[in-house]
Amino acid sequence: MLKLNKKYREKYGFRTKVGYDAIYEGYPNEEMVRALSREKGEVGEHEWIQKFRLKALKYFLQKPMPSWGPDLSGINFENIIYYARPEVNRAKTWEELPKKIREVYERLNIPEVEKKYLLGLSAQFDSEIVLRRIKEELKKLGVIFTDPEDGLKNHPIFRKWFGKIVPPNDNKFAALNSAFFSGGSFIYVPPGVKVPYPLETYFRINISRAGQFERTLIIADEGAEVTYVEGCTAPVYSKSSLHAAVVEIVALPGAKVRYVTLQNWSKNVYNLVTKRSVAFENATIEWLDSNIGSKITMKYPSVYMRGENAKAEIISVAYAGKGQIQDTGAKAVHLAKNTSSKIVAKSVSAEGGEANYRGLISIAKEAARSKAVAKCDALLIDEKSKTNTYPYTNVQNQESSVAHEAFVGKLSQEKLFYLMSRGLDEDQAMSLIVSGFFSDFIRKLPLQYAIEFKRLIELEIKGGVG
Amino acid sequence: MSTLLKIQNLHAKIGKLKILNGINLSIRAGEIHFIMGPNGSGKSTLALTIMGDPRIKVTKGKIYFQNKNITRLEPNERAKLGIFLGFQNPIAIEGLFLASLINTSANVLGKKIADKEIDEALRKINLPKDFLYKDVNYNMSGGEKKKAEALQLLLLKPRLAILDEFDTGLDVDALRTISKAIKSLMNKYRSFLIITHYSRIVDYIKPDKVHIMVGGKIVKEGNVKLAKNIEKYGYAKVLGEKYAEA
């Protein structure tokens, strides 16, 4: 653990001292929510947003902690900072950012990736987006890439879908997010527009005891296509942080949305995220969801196939090292005819880590001739590590098919020996075996992220095992 | 010629089972040695032991490579010294491109492989370029696996190549092609230890020495004639009592 933290600390887990304009902490209450709402200018015609927040707070206070999954009793709501606004003006160029903050992103190589591979990037620092870069090409396509706060105030289509896919009372952490949401992204892609390169948001937690509650809403209009990437890291602290995001995606008829997550939080972060999408006729939604860091992650990206011929593909991968629980999975909900879903879940448990797959396949009565396939593979690196599978299936019509296979394997000594006979040391050999095990995921990623993901795996294995 | 590999009184077991019972073997630079023997005589175990398979326990004896005692070295350290094992049953590694493995190996072994060399090696083994983008030994036929091993051999150019039954699973044409490719590597510095239980390979590669292994020991040594006799008369007849004892 120490060894691992040292490596992570150096590359991703470093701390930066910056000033903050506003910090709200203590057990969540109405006053805090009102103050945040005022900060965000939710007055007059925008007052409804404050009402939305306050209602969400009520849900949060009423709802019990989820009891069906990992133990979350380590979260102390007293000790979380619910809003932390760094002393910085929104920048449009990297140069405009204060040096200290710019250096954080430079150390993480974000400006380089942005320049080379992205049409748009936003960078969140604790509770606020501190930079948004939009290339001319993206503007020309008529794509909206902005803050959710701006979306709520100025884009009726945002308001139409906001909180509709993940309502504030969905679960305790979605409620908390809905009360304190700040930052994140709103993306709208007009009909028929195919965005040729990805858009990305990079989330950085900096402050100790942080609560980060961003919102993301992506709307792909008819026949539109877009790939969105989120990356995240945080400094290593002894006290826990909480990341509770809400992500909503709407793929209108014929649209295609691919959502890529490279989760690499430090191992003091509780990562409890609600990700859900709806796919209309002939639309496709792909979640490429990876979880390497965090203390406990609970995340089950979902697709509700509401239109005929809608498609869902969810590839979820997780690496649970020492002291980590990755409770991840997927939900495919078939609500219309001829819909099809594919779930691939792969997890690695090492050094006593625990990786659980939790999945739901549901096929409604109306969803005749639908098809669902799920494949869950778990790889155990040692005897101390754990894995569990909780697949739930609910099929309401006779004309649909569901196939589910699950497989648990141990790290093969024979594979290690084979690779070591080619000159690789044990860590290198293990990295290649684990990356290979995750290849269903890696081979779907845009190249630069595939390289990054393999590097993260290598870092985990070098630091954590042996 | 200097001695490249020297094995002294090597005993080894897998679990409780004694497999090697006092092997002595010496290979000089540039030599080609065959190890032959009936099934279960310990040939593959010997190959794996030289490479450092952790499942095999050396209970007695020593292995020297270029006068360095390598008996307790990790497999990757042996590889770095210049030892290569072409596996009898190379294991599949799903999700790892053969190209990535070759790149990574070349890197850690401190070798640079030019694109031209890769093209040439593929051509020698009669493989299409996209073969490099198959997963290592995954969804490959027996013959393809042997070709993949041969490809790595050609590109990594070790000092000592141990080839464990590279001839099985190959049809006559493929055997000829691969034998020819292997021969193209032979020079006065590079040595080969070729394990086989058929002698048909003698038609393509001429050994300097032939060792016959039975019951975890080398029971008879000779030259190419010995291999040919075995093909003609079989182990029982050539070895007589020694075979019966084992």
Q: What is the pLDDT of residues A81-116, one digit of tens each?
A: 999 999 999 999 999 999 999 999 999 999 999 999
Confirm whether A99 is domain-assigned. Answer: yes
Write out residues 367-426 of A within 8 Å (CB-CB) of B.
412-415, 417-426
Number of domains in chain A: 2
Optimal mutation site among B44, B50, B70, B76, interface A, most CBs of chain A within 10 A = B76
> Do residues A291 and A436 share a domain?
no
Residues B155/B86, Cβ–Cβ less than 8 Å: no
Is residue A395 one of the residues assigned to a domain? no
- Alpha helices for B73-169 (secondary structure H): 75-81, 98-108, 115-125, 142-156
pLDDT > 70? residue A358 = yes
Q: CB B87 to CB A414 under 8 A?
A: no
Q: What does pLDDT average to over chain A? A: 95
> To which H or E segment does residue A407 belong?
strand A401-410
Query: Could you tell me how far CA A5 lies from the centroid of its own chain?
Result: 22
For residue A465, what pLDDT band results from cuts at 50, 70 and 90? very low
Rounded CA-CA distance A213/B112 in Å is 49
Compute CA distances A271 → A30, A72, A235, A237, B105, whole Å. Answer: 24, 11, 14, 15, 37
Indicate left, alpha or beta for A192 from its phi (over 0: left) and psi (-120 to 50: alpha). Answer: left
B108-121 residue pLDDT tens = 999 999 999 999 99
Six token digits for residue A376: 């869950």
**Chain B positions in Cβ-Cβ contact with residue A440 (cut-off 8 Å):** 95
pLDDT at B1: 60
d(CA A385, CA A394): 30
Domain final residue pick, A255, A274, A299: A299
Chain A contacts of B134, Cβ < 8 Å? none
pLDDT band of A463, cuts 50, 70, 90? low
Bridge partners of A270, per DSSP, are A242, A296
Residue A456 domain boundaries: 412-466
Touching check for A447 and chain B: CB below 8 Å? no
Residue A331 is assigned to a structural domain of this protein: no
- Residue at which a domain ends, from A249, A271, A299: A299
CA gap A204, A233 in Å, rounded = 5
Give the pLDDT score at B200.
81
Domain end residue (candidates: A281, A299, A317): A299
What's the mean pLDDT in B58-66? 98
Please name the residue of chain B whose CA is at the shortest distance from the CA of residue A436. Answer: B95
In 3D space, the residue among B225, B151, B227 whose CA is nearest the CA of residue B195 turns out to be B227
pTM: 0.93
**Which residue type occupies B116?**
K
Q: What is the ipTM of this complex?
A: 0.97
Structure tokens at A315: 């590839």
pLDDT, position B168: 87
The residue in chain A having the minimum alpha-carbon distance to the alpha carbon of residue B155 is A422
A50 falls within a domain: yes
User: How close, in Å, is residue B91 to chain A by CA atoms?
Assistant: 6
Q: Rg of chain A's alpha carbons, rounded to an integer?
A: 21
- Confidence (pLDDT) at B127: 96
CB contact under 8 A, B96 and A414: no
A2 has pLDDT over 50: no
Q: Is the dihedral of CA B19, B25, B30, B33 positive or negative?
A: negative
* B197 confidence band (pLDDT: 50, 70, 90): confident
Q: What are phi and psi of B241, to 5 degrees?
A: -60, -40
Strands of chain B (E only): list them.
3-14, 17-28, 32-36, 56-65, 68-69, 83-86, 93-97, 135-136, 160-164, 191-196, 209-214, 217-222
Interchain contact A428–B (C-beta under 8 A): yes
How close is the nearest chain A Cα to the Cα of B231, in Å?
32
Phi, psi of A358, rounded to the nearest 5 degrees: -130, 120
For residues A32 and A181, state if they share a domain. Answer: yes
Place A8 in a pLDDT band, splitting at 50, 70 and 90.
confident
Structure tokens at B211: 């060792």
Chain A residues with beta carbon closer than 8 angstroms to that of B93: 415, 418-419, 432-433, 436
Query: Which residues share a beta bridge with A347?
Result: A318, A378
Residue among B241, B237, B197, B194 nearest B219 (CA)? B241
pLDDT in tens, A114-146: 999 999 999 999 999 999 999 999 999 999 999
Strand residue runs (E) in A190-334 = 199-204, 211-212, 215-220, 225-233, 241-243, 246-251, 256-263, 269-279, 284-291, 296-299, 302-305, 311-320, 325-334
Cβ distance of A439 and B93 shorter than 8 Å: no
Mark whether A294 and A432 lie in a shared domain.
no
In terms of Cα–Cα distance, which of A208, A203, A168 is closest to A20?
Answer: A208
Whether A422 sits inside 8 A of B152 (CB atoms) is: yes
Confidence (pLDDT) at A10: 86
Cβ–Cβ under 8 Å, residues A296 and A70: yes
Which residues of chain B approach chain A closer than 8 Å at the C-beta?
Answer: 51-55, 74-76, 78-80, 84-85, 87, 90-91, 93-96, 100-101, 104-105, 108-109, 135, 152, 156
Domain contains A137: yes
Residue B246 has pLDDT above 60, yes or no: no
Mean predicted lDDT score pLDDT of chain B: 94
Residues from chain B contacting residue A434 (CB–CB below 8 Å): none
Residues A292 and A416 in one domain: no
Asked if the model's pLDDT at residue A466 lies above 50, the reply is no
Residue B205 CB contacts under 8 Å (≥ 6 apart), including other chains = B32, B179, B182, B183, B192, B194
Residue A306 resides in a domain: no
Which stretches of A55-166 are assigned E, i.e. beta strand? Answer: 81-86, 120-125, 128-134, 144-146
Query: Residues A99, A247: one domain?
Result: yes
Please compute the mean of the pLDDT values over residues A223-244 and round it to a whole number: 96
Whether residue A171 is found in the same domain as residue A29: yes
The pLDDT score that the predictor gives to residue B199 is: 76
Instruction: Order across the sheet with B56-65: list the strands.
Output: B17-28, B3-14, B56-65, B68-69
Q: Which one of A412, A428, A439 has the shortest CB-CB distance to B95? A: A439
Angle, vertex CA A151, rays to CA A145 and CA A153, nearest 5: 150
What tokens does A301 get? Answer: 């990206």
Percent of chain A topping pLDDT 90: 95
The answer to whether A269 and A291 are in contact (CB under 8 A) is no
